[in-house]
Structure 1
Amino acid sequence: MLRRSFLRGAAAAGTLPFLPARPALAQNARASVLRYVPQSDLTIVDPVTTTAYITRHHALMVFDQLYGLDAQLKPQPQMVEGHNVEADGTLWTFRLRDGLTFHDGEPVRGRDCIASIRRWAQRDSLGQALMARTDAMSAPDDRSFVIRLNRPYGLMLETLAKLGPPVLVIMPERLAATDPAQQIPEVIGSGPFRFNTKERLVGARVVYDRNPDYRPRESGTVSWAAGPKRVHFERVEWQVMPDPGTAAAALQNGEVDWWENPINDLLPSLQGNPQIVTQLAGRLGNLGTAVMNHLYPPFDKPAVRRVILEALTQEDFMAAAAGDDEKLRRTGVGIFTPGTSMASDAGLDILTRKRDLARAKKDLIAAGYKGERVVLMSASDNPVLGALGEVMHDLLQRLGMNVQYVVSDWGTLVTRRASKAPPDQGGWNIFSTTWVGLDMTNPVGEQVLRCGGQKGFFGWPDIPEIETLREAWIEAPDEAGRQRIARDLQAAAMVQVPYLPLGQYFYRTAYRREIRDIVQDQFVFWNARREA
């Protein structure tokens, strides 16, 4: 609490230090530069190799998508001019817009699209569902590509418009030939911004320059990732801050224009500044999850995972994430985003019954816990993830587990979570992360529900029952059928526990009042402008 009080006071006074201003940010150049404080530093630049949102934000700047998802969750043509469907839904032909070029001057061709889809599909659930139904993909000419299915696939456009990480973006064929487990050797896209590698300063700054050759769509409404991507800034700088107080002071002083995720403790001082606007970052909120490594004890045992689920209290986690405002948090939350069509109350009694930690300690031993060291990872540079880590650390210790609490920056955590080594040899057992509500609305798009073993999400759960239900959901003929399957799937998840659902929270983003026309609910940098 002392640290929070200090942050409030320092932020209100604007006395905290900030990175020295660069010469390029002289007043006469200010109008052409947007300065943004991201949730964390950018450590992975390849959107296929990670599900980190910071990399997704980066990808949407540099690359472009075939279809863009709008605020009604409807795919709209983006790079694609249009498509035809023939042969009872099994033959799809797509035609690209004229004049699309990559940052190196090469035109975007149909074969680039095919190679990008193939690479991405190896790491994404929707992509894997598409490829399982695909007989062939071809590019009859430079502006077209064809997908021939072995059976109809009703989620084709939703798949090609995949917005949540790993996001489906189009890159040159030569880069898309890179093993999806390895990062691409250079960042070349066709999007509205170019990645400025020369001015990249790890841990401090990421720079993007406007792509002068980008041709936005001429029609459509700007909504989420859909519509014309018109750029009004010559340059976007991501300024990585050492702590939230420094970020708040920089925003108050006008040294930065936009702060992605201010902590709730600092909102009162920001909201008291007439030059700052705060608004909810997304109407679907965020869902907290605790991801467990199913390859090694103790979380290789379903009974152990279930004891942890029975012992946790979502209110503890969401109060830590959202602060004192009860309107910014929701508990009794299952595996799908509340208020969306697949959400239900199936199996949720396990989350609402009275907690008994003394009994849980005994149940944990009976379930097969033998005192193994549990490597709990947490992120130091993300306030929400850090708070979730603290609550999880306390819970596991109170249950009598032998916890090794490893705190690092998010980039280091993301790198380590990919390791399948034993926990005592550089691997891990558990970490907490959060997901935008959009990415938790159905069982195929939800990454942490991928339970196909080595093809699953980090933690690599191998739960055939859940995989069978996910496949049945894809094949369901209508919405009612999908809802029934989603209900069964959640009930199964409450027993098998592929991961721990921690609840839903909302947060506000903050920006200078002179910044107008920010795209709602998304962290993208087209359309935004500075009022003169």
Structure 2
Amino acid sequence: MNMQTNIQIGRGPLRSAATRISVAAALLLSTTTLADATVFRTATDTDLKILDPVSTTTAVTIMHGLKVYDTLFSMDENETPQPQMVDTYSVSDDGLIYRFRLRDGLVFSDGSPVESSDVIASIKRWAQKRSEGQLMNERLETIVETDSTAFEIRLKKPFALLIRGLANPVLPMFVMREEEAKTDPSAQITTVIGSGPFIFRQDLWRPGDVVVYEKSPTYKPRSEKASGQAGGKVVNVDRLEERYMPDGNTALQALRNDELDFLYSPPQDAVESLRQDPNFTVGVIDNQGMMGAIRLNTMHPPFNNVYARQAMQALVDQPSILSTMVGSKDMYRVCYSIFGCGAVPFETAAGTEDWKGQNLEKAKDLLKKSGYDGRPIVVMIPSDDEQLMNQSLVLVEFMRQAGFAVDPQSMDWSTLTSRRENTGDPAKDPKVAWDIFGTWLPGSFFKDPFNLALVATGDPKTAWYGWPKDDKIEALRAAWIDAPTTEDQRKAIDDIQVQYYASVPQIYTGQFYQASAWRSQIKGVLKGSYPVYWNLTINP
């Protein structure tokens, strides 16, 4: 008998030994010496502490995931889902069976092949944490492997948004090895064996200082032109170094001194001078813009009371907050549509009539009506993110004017993102629990009811931080998802926003655009929800 008939390629010893030898050889060839390598240098104001992009929604970890993992589908710059790791797919006439075939030659960074079992395990883990996956699970019958590179998603009920969910550009469905993907989603993976265009050099990672990635010698890009997060992810640099620089002026000086090539979030007061300097290019990566947002802990007083939440809505003055966050008036807009304003599909004024503009007297009346007892409100303020820090500081002042006692607590963003998972009562444990934190949401995250930020189940396992509960919003989200016509979708959109302003699950502080800056020799910067580092070239 031929002994090879008992060997499953990519599993067992072959997956962990022989294939890794070939990859080690490839790495030696691809990273000869640092002096010979093309190094692209960038910086972030948030320290990478969490490596698992399924266990968190923190942007720095998601951007890490985009470098080291690939996806089944990706959004192009027009927000259209495109196949990425998928070669071909089809949908049955009744919309209940989705059949997928993976591209040939897909391998992980350890050299082992990407197989259906890896994909299925990745989908299952992702689906427990992400709103699109949870909606899929409600309609799911099973996911089956039909061969090593083909699988089917079988549904009990049609889910027309399935492909779009798999292509989510903000919280992507990353494909991991089955070994890591079987990790409980409430736990974090610590081994990074990727399917994407870069390899994470964990041996060179220095938290609080630098993260190093190298071009993957095993990655197989698509042949199509790169667009957004879709198309050919062709890496033209050997090495990517991402420095942690929480001080914006330090990062700006590094850019000006030719110590950085790209800065995603330069100090806003420096943007105009960078525009005037021929050595730099200034551009907006996400044309949909971002939305400032305030999350309230609705599990405990006072924000388990709707009047207290409405008081917060009434005290917010968008122009004041936006001018402090962003500065230049051409980079922000006052926006009360919870699905965004401008070139977005579902802008609406429904339900906004009583909530446009600041009304401190109304806020005081609502706060009194809530029965607020004067307890200090713990506001977590990120000291290493200038925009979010300014948003929070202005909010704190308005809260005090409306009659809240406030306990502002400064911390770095990484600490904040860990602490926001705590569901405890801040009145009992004010150094661990919390009442309020500010954030921003990328355009793809707020443009329609599909997103996680609007989920109002009240369940920490399914809802986002703050855990609002509103059964009516959830029913209306379901109505929008299953709407048979555009008219029905529009009605659901208006109804959701009316209920949103009645319930106030979160508060928006206005829409803005993030200016990024890079050296003029850098070409090929792509538009999208986040910066990506393929398709870039460095001209002499």
Query: Taking structure 2 as the reference length, what is the TM-score of the superposition?
Result: 0.90
Matched residue, 1:485: 492
Matched, 1:459 2:462: no
1:422-469 CA-partner distances (Å, limit 9, x unpaired):
214211101100011121111112x22110111211111111010110
Matched residue, 2:95: 89
In 2: Cα distance, 1:320 partner to 1:491 partner: 29
Structure 1 residues 359 and 80 mapped into 2: Cα distance closer, same or farther (>3 Å)? closer
Give, in angstroms, the shift of residue 111 of structure 1. Answer: 1.3
8 Å CA contact retained: 1:63, 1:191: yes
32-41 vs 283-292, which moves further: 32-41
8 Å CA contact retained: 2:287, 2:527: no
In 1: Cα distance, 2:166 partner to 2:493 partner: 22
Matched residue, 2:19: none
Amino acid aligned to 2:413:
W
| Residue 422 (structure 2) aligned to one of 414, 419, 423 | 419
In 2: Cα distance, 1:39 partner to 1:347 partner: 37
Please list, as runs of the form range in 1=range in 2, the aligned pairs for 1:4-19 lying within 5 A after superposition: none
| Residue 193 (structure 2) aligned to one of 188, 201, 205 | 188
1:458-511 CA-partner distances (Å, limit 9, x unpaired):
111111010110111111012221121011101100010000111101121000
Matched residue, 1:512: 519
| Residue 289 (structure 2) aligned to one of 285, 290, 313 | 285
Please list, as runs of the form range in 1=range in 2, the aligned pairs for 1:256-295 lying within 5 A after superposition: 256-295=260-299
Long gaps (5+) in structure 2: 1-30
1:104-157 CA-partner distances (Å, limit 9, x unpaired):
222111111111111111111111111111101011211011111112111121
| SS at 1:448 equivalent | helix
Give, in angstroms, the shift of residue 381 of structure 1. Answer: 0.9
Matched, 1:318 2:325: no
| SS at 1:487 equivalent | helix
Matched residue, 2:182: 177
Structure 1 residues 27 and 79 mapped into 2: Cα distance closer, same or farther (>3 Å)? closer
1:182-224 CA-partner distances (Å, limit 9, x unpaired):
1113111110001111111111111111100101012x23111
Matched residue, 2:506: 499
In 2: Cα distance, 1:486 partner to 1:326 partner: 29
Amino acid aligned to 2:57:
T
| Residue 100 (structure 1) aligned to one of 91, 106, 130 | 106
Could you tell me the percent identity over the aligned residues? Answer: 35
Amino acid aligned to 1:264:
Q
8 Å CA contact retained: 2:44, 2:243: yes
8 Å CA contact retained: 1:196, 1:208: yes
8 Å CA contact retained: 2:246, 2:385: no
Matched residue, 2:6: none
> How many residue pairs get matched?
503
Give, in angstroms, the shift of residue 271 of structure 1. Answer: 2.6
8 Å CA contact retained: 1:343, 1:487: no
| SS at 2:508 equivalent | strand
Give, in angstroms, the shift of residue 28 of structure 1. Answer: 4.9
Amino acid aligned to 1:525:
Y
1:326-374 CA-partner distances (Å, limit 9, x unpaired):
1111113221121311220011223325x44245324312222111221
Give, in angstroms, the shift of residue 242 of structure 1. Answer: 3.9
Matched, 1:331 2:326: no
Give, in angstroms, the shift of residue 226 of structure 1. Answer: 0.7
Matched residue, 2:15: none
Matched, 1:32 2:38: yes
In 1: Cα distance, 2:270 partner to 2:502 partner: 39
Matched residue, 1:41: 47
Matched residue, 1:449: 454
In 2: Cα distance, 1:515 partner to 1:319 partner: 30
Matched residue, 2:77: 71
Q: Which runs of 4+ in 1 moved over 3 A?
A: 26-29
Long gaps (5+) in structure 1: 1-23
In 2: Cα distance, 1:332 partner to 1:287 partner: 9
Matched residue, 2:119: 113
Matched, 1:404 2:407: yes
Matched residue, 1:368: 371
Matched residue, 1:346: 350
314-323 vs 286-295, which moves further: 314-323
| Residue 533 (structure 2) aligned to one of 519, 525, 530 | 525
Aligned-residue RMSD, C-alpha: 1.7
Structure 1 residues 90 and 359 mapped into 2: Cα distance closer, same or farther (>3 Å)? closer
Amino acid aligned to 1:505:
F
Give, in angstroms, the shift of residue 60 of structure 1. Answer: 0.6
1:278-334 CA-partner distances (Å, limit 9, x unpaired):
1123211110100000111110111110111012111111111111x2111111322
| Residue 133 (structure 2) aligned to one of 127, 131, 147 | 127
1:382-403 CA-partner distances (Å, limit 9, x unpaired):
1111111111111111122121
8 Å CA contact retained: 1:334, 1:501: no
Matched, 1:384 2:387: yes
Matched residue, 1:357: 360
8 Å CA contact retained: 2:325, 2:391: yes
8 Å CA contact retained: 2:81, 2:163: yes
8 Å CA contact retained: 1:80, 1:95: yes
| SS at 1:248 equivalent | helix
Matched residue, 1:225: 229
Give, in angstroms, the shift of residue 253 of structure 1. Answer: 1.0
Amino acid aligned to 1:282:
D
Amino acid aligned to 1:181:
S
Amino acid aligned to 1:44:
I
In 2: Cα distance, 1:223 partner to 1:199 partner: 30
8 Å CA contact retained: 1:341, 1:483: no
| SS at 1:84 equivalent | strand
Give, in angstroms, the shift of residue 27 of structure 1. Answer: 9.7
In 1: Cα distance, 2:121 partner to 2:273 partner: 49
331-340 vs 484-493, which moves further: 331-340
8 Å CA contact retained: 1:417, 1:428: yes
